[in-house]
Chain A
Amino acid sequence: MARIIVVTSGKGGVGKTTTSAAIAMGLAKKGHKTAVIDFDVGLRNLDLILGCERRVVYDFVNVINGEATLNQALIKDKRCNQLFILPASQTRDKDALTVEGVGRVLEELSKDFKYIVCDSPAGIEKGAHLAMYFADDAFVVTNPEVSSVRDSDRMLGIMASKSKRAENNEEPIKEYLLLTRYSPERVKLGEMLSVEDVQEILSLHLLGVIPESKSVLNASNSGIPVILDDKSDAGQAYEDIVARYLGEDRPHRFIDEEKKGIFGKLFRSK
């Protein structure tokens, strides 16, 4: 049986696709057979972030409609043979995804995969609903910013009442906080909500903090999930997150400002 992870946020543009690509690659690199599904029907971006956009033949909706088999549609990653991508359809038909259809595909994938990562679209409409509906775990991607925190909380409410687990009175979805685009410098200046602030408001278990990083754009420019850039802060942050998710106990990093020479140190060590 696979574990189904939804990467969700409510608010758009906070880093769901970046995160989905990174953690799917991270899990696969640890030897777990992982599928990552793009639920953003109509837009399709995950393939681009993973660098397999030119290999897309069939998509998620084709599989649901029986126009292709799962094996035909899944794209095997060239860097890691444990990672498979199921791209989103570019159809404009909003009803292309159905509960039964998505359920069937997830069930079939569950037989063969260890982890299934669902990259949710923004919003709280159908696509976002279906992405979280079957989930066992939720990675709630949040930026340290008021609207993102509020939307994350709304998403938590939806998962607590509208997911399959909620409807069947099963154990609730396990929710984890991933605080992304974090700037310790700005937090220090009191300009940005701190990780403690966000945790206090959402009362969620913190899986990790991903700093605001130039490496993310570099990675997406080249179609390489940022976790493969092991020199970068964001890449290492995602590495930590995958390890923690798998049960390793790693201290949190990227929460405090980097040391900036002796003067910085003198001032900080009050």
Chain B
Amino acid sequence: MSLLDYFRTTKRGTASLAKERLQILVAHERSSRTQPSYLPQLQKELLEVVRKYINVEQDAISINFEQDEDQEVLELNIVLPDEHNKSSK
């Protein structure tokens, strides 16, 4: 994109913003449509198990389901409390 184009697009209307927002939203909604329906329950139960052992926040756990042609990946991320928290226990 040339500098001129840059000024042109930033000076222009709100359509590019609309496009950007839609692309993010639609991608998000599509991936949640193709998710297995057990995912929210799985997430909740995993959180309960993890919390028996580690004192993590509600949002410290994230679960991600990805699908391409030949495989499905379930990705589980748990952010542990930092070193300071651990030692003070």
Knowing A153-B29, A157-B30, A157-B33, the reply to whether A201 touches B12 (Cβ < 8 A) is no
Number of CB contacts from chain A to chain B under 8 A: 48
Contact at A201–B15, with CB atoms within 8 Å?
Answer: no
Nearest Cβ on chain A to B71's Cβ, whole angstroms: 21
Q: How near does chain A come to B35, taking the closest CB pair, in angstroms?
A: 12
Take A190-B13, A191-B13 as given contacts and tell me if A150 and B33 are in contact as well, using a CB distance cutoff of 8 Å.
Answer: no
Of B13, B14, B22, the contact of A149 (CB 8 Å cutoff):
B22
Neighbouring B residues of A146 by C-beta, 8 Å: 18, 21-22
Of residues 134 to 160 in A, which have CB atoms within 8 Å of B's CB atoms? Answer: 145-146, 149-150, 153-154, 157
Instruction: For the complex, give the distance between the alpha carbons of A149 and B18 in Å.
Output: 10
Q: How many residues of chain B are within 8 Å of chain A by beta carbon? A: 16
B26: which of A187, A189, A201 is its contact (CB, 8 Å)? A201
Q: Are B33 and A190 in contact (CB under 8 A)?
A: no
Nearest A residue (CB) for B19: A197
The answer to whether B15 touches A193, judged by C-beta atoms less than 8 angstroms apart, is: yes
Report chain A residues within 8 Å CB of B29: 150, 153-154, 157
| B16 touching A201, Cβ below 8 Å | no
A191 and B30 contacting across the interface, CB-CB below 8 Å: no
Given A157-B33, A190-B9: A150 and B15 interface contact (C-beta under 8 Å):
no
Interface of B is mostly: helix
Compute how far the CA of A161 lies from the CA of B25 in the bound complex, rounded to whole angstroms: 20
> Which of A154, A161, A190 makes the CB contact (< 8 A) with B16?
A190
Give Cα distance in the complex from A153 to B21, angstroms: 14
The residue on B at minimum CB distance from A191 is B13
Q: Which residues of A contact B30 (CB under 8 A)?
A: 153, 157
- Closest residue of A by beta carbon distance from B11: A190
Chain B 28-62 residues near chain A, CB threshold 8 A = 29-30, 33
Does any Cβ of B come within 8 Å of A122's Cβ?
Answer: no
CB of B87 within 8 Å of the partner chain: no
Q: Which chain B residue lies CB-closest to A190?
A: B12
Task: Check if B23 is an interface residue, CB within 8 A of chain A.
Answer: yes
A201 in contact with B14 given A153-B29, A154-B29, A157-B30 (CB within 8 Å): no
What 8 pairs across the A-B complex have the smallest Cβ distances? A190-B12, A190-B13, A191-B13, A197-B19, A157-B33, A190-B15, A153-B26, A201-B22
